[in-house]
Structure 1
Amino acid sequence: MKQDLFGQMNSLHTAEGAEAWNGVLLGFMAHAAVTPEHLAAALTAEPEFALGHAVKGLFTVLLGRREVLEVAREALVSAQTAAQGGISVREQLYIDALRFWLDGQPTHSVQCFEHILRVHPEDTLAMKLSHATRFVLGDCSGMRRSIERVMPSYAPDHPGRGYLLGCHAFALEETGAYDKAEIAGRQALWMVSDDAWGLHAVAHVHDMTGNAKTGLDWLAGREDAWAHCNNFRYHVWWHKALMHLDLGQVDRVLDLYDTEIRKDRTDDYRDISNAASLLMRLELDGVNVGNRWEELADLSAARTEDGSLIFADLHYLLALTGQRRDEAAVTMLRRIHSDAESGSGDMAERMASPGASAAEGLVAFGDGNFDEAFKHLALSRPHMQAAGGSHAQRDVFERITIDAGLRAGRLDAVEEILDDRRQKRGGREDNYASRRRALIQAGRGSGSDICSVPAE
């Protein structure tokens, strides 16, 4: 048995394996691009390391892609086989968590991580995996509760404390405690300079409170905090682009899109989500985005049968409707309905609600049927949290709902949504909301039921 840098005992036997495993732990905390290399080195040095195989599988299912699930299943088999040689209860719980994920029950995976944390509250790996899984499930209150339960066990010199604070910052922000979130995020980055998650939590605070200029000031000069990241670095650039967009600096937004956000044109659902949501925001503000939808639509058209995460599916739909790939969009819409009706487990529940209605609304919006779009999107709106992701990411669906309502002349209903949106943002508004309120006033002043909103 070897002790890792977070103080946990693992079924490792070599110094090489232990060193590589510590690299995995630190890499996962920092969203580092080199993490898979450390994991490969650990399993090469310790091919019978059950926990390593389980974590490989857990990392894989978090990718949210159907075609890689076979890799996760193979990892589960390897972990179960290795476990026959004798492992701790803690390590077995990681294997159980992977099995639940593959059975379509990630809420049970969370329970496994929380079981670990009740006995081993300083297990930063379990903390981060619980956080990541709850994020996918849209459980922001659970994220916060989990972190605050274990926080007293982290001494100031614990190697994972900075990363814990970064996760706490994000959970605080997602539960509306914006001032506390900013303090926690700043402290996290001070403790561990590569905590991109904590840095991005502070960016979320500025987005939610309508402080784009302050947000740009926060990110300026801190590029080293996310330069080491895997594709998460594209997401931090996305946040910067959102701030420029709120300030009306469209040329800067498009430049960041081309040079950073879609620099590598990957087909990871998170990267497609960044891109599709940004292009949609631009189009809602009347910006011509040129042919940028095309490559996103090509990638999304190949994923109509995926169905791993409704969050991903809805962003694929954004790309398909943005490029007017009507046949592919209808194919995806039918599959979402089929999954909602015939599936079981956590993901199927989310396909049913908010997925089916939200998808209907997005397709109707793409077709220019704004009254129908508003009806479906407003119906799904109270349940969108369950789609996963963050408030900032889901805000693209909020904006489409608002703009559909404006184009359908539903001014009173849209104003209620804007009021609710402002309340959830600590009573503050961004420039997007201010412009929509001005459109409402103009529509009422003209005596017309139809409010003029920039069209595609």
Structure 2
Amino acid sequence: MRATDQFGYDLTISSVEAVPHWNAAVTAFLAHGKDTPQHLEKTLEIAPDFALGHACRGLFCLLLGRKELVSTARECQVIARKTLDHSAHSERETAVVDALQDWLDGWPSRSADRLDTALRRAPHDALLLKLVHAIRFVLGDSTGMRRSIESVLPAYDPAHSAYGYVLGCHAFALEETGEYEMAERAGRLGLDHANDDAWGLHAVAHVHDMTGRAEEGIGWLEARPDRWAHCNNFGFHVWWHLALMYLDRGDADKALALYDSEIRKDRTDDYRDISNATSLLARLEIEGVNVGARWEELALLSDKRAEDGCNVFADLHYLLALLNGGRRMGSERLLNSLRSRSIGQGDLGHISQTAGLPTGLGLEQYRLGNYASAFHLLSSARRELPTIGGSHAQRDVFERLTIDAAIRAGLASEAEDLIKDRVRRRGAPDRFGEQRLETCEKMQRASKIMLNEGLRAVPA
């Protein structure tokens, strides 16, 4: 039978009683709500042959980047496809099922392209918009995120139930493409229309980070903890942003306190939680902070994920934990997994080859103390690194390690070039960059003194 969702589009669903639960699941997904799975489960319990619901569940599983959930996604695809084959469905619903198959075939980029095509034909569908946004985020495709949203943005106004969430997505895409003032305005406006839009809230926090305004960022987040209290583990990520701002202010103790009380409050092995933790610990150690035994917990969890092979961004953060936690065999298994994938087909093969493997090998050399080799490996992958996914702020840990490796290897000129390029990419200097630039200048002055023939002792 046919029903209509909250955005005015047809649903092919066996019971109208499932529709309110479906609408609730979609809204929770837009808000990064922890109750998204419960609403979706209730929908499928009432309407077990709901193809769109199963396809979305499959895509949600793949977005989580866990090996065991790939088989669940395949099961979702089988059910959804079987339902499509036995009854007529809308073009929009079929596109989501086909997009799931694209990703299962190894091409999340094709999945995003297919959903973008469907979105242009159904511009008011915020579910499609958010799915495209999420997949392109995993691919590090900030330009694609922005293009996707702006192609349908005129279809949204305050009367649309998802207007605030759409503005939050636009804010993030603007921030990731360097339009910081526009991003901040969009994020703030979005919260006026959807006060639980944690994504938009965090987009504004990104602007504060990228423009070197740590104090304002601290105030922005600390005044609004209720805006992400409803979140799934994305809430831990917002706390991570607050810790980064305290670190930029020079308050490592506060950053560590947030690590213990909020960021690792639930010691999950979700790759997003692991990435929050490992990247913060790595930043702290670069600053000379002793983080104690905190690496051990992360290394133990990451060892069990070393051969997941679902997401290069996840792999590199697992590797940080394994290397710093002293799990040599786990590190080797993960690097071997990257090597195997680097000769494979699909998006993952290309990303592993051009960005994942050289970065992973660079991290290994850094941990071994071979800083020149680490610098050359890490810098060789630098231009391709966005393809691993995540945000500029998340990937900045690898930028910092590359700069630190150059300084430790005595490559002051190379480190200075990286720091200045980092400032250009970010939009403003921060404490990390300013301090390292000062170090480079001291190294270069010392080098000039050492090479000054006029200062050499004259033989008697």
The TM-score with structure 2 as length reference comes to 0.96
* 1:120-159 correspondence to structure 2 within 5 Å: 120-159=122-161
Correspondent of 1:303 among 285, 298, 305: 305
**Cα deviation 1:252-292 (Å, max 9, x = unaligned):** 11111011100110000000000000000000000000000
* 1:167-316 correspondence to structure 2 within 5 Å: 167-316=169-318
Give the drift of 1:220.
1.7
% same residue: 51
Asked if 1:379 is matched to 2:369, the reply is no
Partner of 2:438: 438
Whether contact under 8 Å (2:338, 2:356) holds in the other structure is yes
Partner of 2:35: 34
Whether contact under 8 Å (1:443, 1:449) holds in the other structure is no
CA RMSD of aligned residues (A): 1.2
Give the drift of 1:440.
1.1
Give the drift of 1:68.
1.1
Task: Find the aligned partners of 2:277 and 2:162 in 1 and give their Cα distance.
Answer: 32
Whether contact under 8 Å (2:95, 2:118) holds in the other structure is yes
Whether contact under 8 Å (2:14, 2:49) holds in the other structure is no
Give the drift of 1:12.
2.4
Whether contact under 8 Å (1:73, 1:102) holds in the other structure is yes
Secondary structure of the 2:178 match is: coil
**Cα deviation 1:283-308 (Å, max 9, x = unaligned):** 00000000000010001111111111
Secondary structure of the 2:381 match is: helix
Task: Find the aligned partners of 2:145 and 2:95 in 1 and give their Cα distance.
Answer: 19
Indicate the larger mover: 384-393 or 80-89. 80-89
Give the drift of 1:156.
2.3
* 1:344-355 correspondence to structure 2 within 5 Å: 344-355=345-356
Task: Find the aligned partners of 1:115 and 1:311 in 2 and give their Cα distance.
Answer: 27
> Partner amino acid for 2:7?
F
> Partner amino acid for 1:68?
L
Secondary structure of the 1:446 match is: helix
Whether contact under 8 Å (1:277, 1:396) holds in the other structure is yes
Task: Find the aligned partners of 1:242 and 1:154 in 2 and give their Cα distance.
Answer: 34
Give the drift of 1:237.
0.2
| Segments of 4+ moved more than 2 angstroms | 12-16, 444-450
For structure 2, the residue ranges without an aligned partner over 5 or more in a row are 451-460
Correspondent of 2:104 among 102, 105, 127: 102
Give the drift of 1:448.
8.1
Whether contact under 8 Å (1:336, 1:356) holds in the other structure is yes
Structure with bigger gyration radius: 2
Task: Find the aligned partners of 2:332 and 2:372 in 1 and give their Cα distance.
Answer: 19
> Partner amino acid for 2:439?
L
For structure 1, the residue ranges without an aligned partner over 5 or more in a row are 451-456
Whether contact under 8 Å (1:411, 1:449) holds in the other structure is no
Query: Structure 1's 419 and 449: CA in aligned 2 closer, same or farther, altered over 3 A?
Result: farther
Aligned residues: 448
Asked if 1:161 is matched to 2:163, the reply is yes
Partner of 1:454: none
Task: Find the aligned partners of 2:157 and 2:179 in 1 and give their Cα distance.
Answer: 24
**Cα deviation 1:211-246 (Å, max 9, x = unaligned):** 100001111221111010000000000000000000
Asked if 1:89 is matched to 2:91, the reply is yes
> Partner amino acid for 1:57?
G
Give the drift of 1:449.
11
Task: Find the aligned partners of 2:69 and 2:449 in 1 and give their Cα distance.
Answer: 50
**Cα deviation 1:387-446 (Å, max 9, x = unaligned):** 1100000000000000000000111111111111111122x1110001101111222233
**Cα deviation 1:345-378 (Å, max 9, x = unaligned):** 0011100011111111000001111010001001
Partner of 2:455: none
Give the drift of 1:14.
2.9
Secondary structure of the 1:227 match is: coil
Partner of 2:447: 447
Give the drift of 1:13.
4.2
> Partner amino acid for 1:45?
I
Secondary structure of the 2:98 match is: helix
